[in-house]
Structure 1
Amino acid sequence: MLVQAPDGTMTASAIIWLDEHNRTTEFGPVGTHHRYRRLGLGRALPLQSMDRARQAGAARMTVTCLPTSPQSS
């Protein structure tokens, strides 16, 4: 899933895998462009993704949280 600003800039993204056989969805990395942080996109994107996964038949969802590494300068 992708979120774009009106000018076409990709502001946030998430990778979602649906296992139709097990009716399970797994969320991969969810990220937000640094200029668009603190606007609620990091919360809205997974919520919208979960809604779509439910519509596609998912009964369970897994989100894995891993620490991020500091950005290098």
Structure 2
Amino acid sequence: PYETIKLMELIKRIKEKFGLTIFLIEHHMQFVMGICERIMVMDFGIQIAEGTPQEIQKNPKVIRAYLGE
């Protein structure tokens, strides 16, 4: 959606302009993968993975938690 793209652009501009680290809590994975350099994944309050978007997409624990076995 248009709003999602605009929000992604805004967050990226703020990060680049001010050199900030941004802590984002979000469940929309396409949004997360498109904006984050590093991701931490939690499942029922427990950290199950941390890494780049590419590492997270391939992580067996993440796949199991979100897609089932």
The interval holding the TM-score normalised by the smaller chain is: under 0.3
Tell me the TM-score normalized by structure 2: 0.27
Structure in which a larger fraction of residues adopt strand: 1
Tell me the TM-score normalized by structure 1: 0.26
Structure ranking higher on relative contact order (CA contacts 8 Å, 6+ apart): 1
